[in-house]
Amino acid sequence: MENNSIKIGITQGDPNGVGLDIILRIFADAHIYKYCTPVLYASPKAFSYYKKQLNLQEPVYQLVRTAADAKPGKFNLVISSEEGMEVKMGEASAEAGKQALLALDKALEDARAGHIEAIVTAPLDKSTVAVHSPGFSGHTGYIAEKLGSTDYAMMLLCEDLRVALVTEHVPITRLGEKLTQQAIENKIQTVHSSLVEDFGITRPRVAVLGLNPHAGDSGLLGSEENTLIKPAIEKVFARQKLVYGPYPADSFFGSGQHRQFDAVIAMYHDQGLIPFKTFAFYDGVNFTAGLPVVRTSPDHGTAYDLAGKGTAETLSFRNAIYEAIHIVRTRKQYATDHENPLPFSELRRERFRIDF
């Protein structure tokens, strides 16, 4: 299979934000077409508006009905909505939120139909999208629901760090409702499976952070470590998975302990994302583990103040595209390697069992 036959769906995100600005500048460079066939889900009017604003000659798009018709070596565009809209760079609006949601839904249609192997989502404004989809709290949960996935995990990636979350966009006051032993156990298992199947790590090592200051300080500062987190770790560890913790979050990253592991699992959003964005503010990638279709995104927001100026950093979005390509390839290789496994007798299983 040729590299550029990997079809990557790309959503426009908020048309008043920085998404189309960055997408156009990335795909103005013909080099990237060697590695994938891009399919943009967007408004042609918004596309042309930003192209003129940025004074770009490339990319020239080819209209296709669905990603099934996309041509390698071309910049393919699927019309996300026939409704007209007025682009207002830098302004949050309910109309922009609607257009962002329509583009996402169109990409998900093609994903469910098997027309694309990965989705790279441009940033949107959760508050404007929620006007049209009550309860919307971000791409991750919405995409997982639409693709029928219940066991998934938000994972942030950079060159030497992977951070996953047990809870995502949940108010601190509601953490107690979401943090259960089963939820923690499921996230650990999902992350472990992803490290094996999506990143090709044969025996991944996973660290789990505590919830309370100093990981509870032996129960003095909270009991969740003993009642929820440790039991979840022990259950997964009993399945011969190399998972350890809970570690105190305040010292874990500063001491460099994260370098000893293939992934770190944080209990809540800021516990994981503050250290991650300190390490990788401009080049990090957001990946959703556990989905049937690879999904990545840049780890920044709509950046309304930079829309249409041609100055926004493209590295995170570019990395999201290349990471999606890499994960698609790794998944295919894993599937090929495990297509017809040889039978493994119980005697041999005992012989090769690793003692912990």
Residue 346 pLDDT greater than 80, yes or no: no
Contacts of 246 (CB under 8 A, 6+ apart): 208, 209, 210, 211, 215, 216, 225, 229, 230, 233
CB atoms within 10 A of CB 217: 13
pLDDT score at 119:
98
Domains for the chain: give ranges and CATH numbers.
1-151+287-356 (3.40.718.10), 160-279 (3.40.718.10)
- The β-bridge relationship of strands 242-247 and 37-42 is unpaired
Q: Is 260 helix (H, G, I), strand (E, B) or coil?
A: helix
The answer, yes or no, to whether residue 351 has pLDDT greater than 70, is no
Report pLDDT digits (tens) over 186-230: 999 999 999 999 999 999 999 999 999 999 888 898 899 999 999
Strands 37-42 and 75-79: parallel
Q: Return the structure tokens found at 342.
A: 């040889």
Mean pLDDT of the chain: 93
Q: Is the pLDDT of residue 344 over 70?
A: no
pLDDT on residue 84: 78
What are the pLDDT digits (tens) for 36-85? 999 999 999 999 999 999 999 999 999 999 999 999 999 999 999 888 78
Tokens at 63, concatenated: 């209209």
What pTM was computed for the model? 0.92
Contacts within 8 Å (CB) and 24+ apart, 277-281: 278/253, 279/158, 279/161, 279/253, 280/156, 280/158, 280/159, 280/161
| 330-341 pLDDT per residue, tens | 999 999 998 876
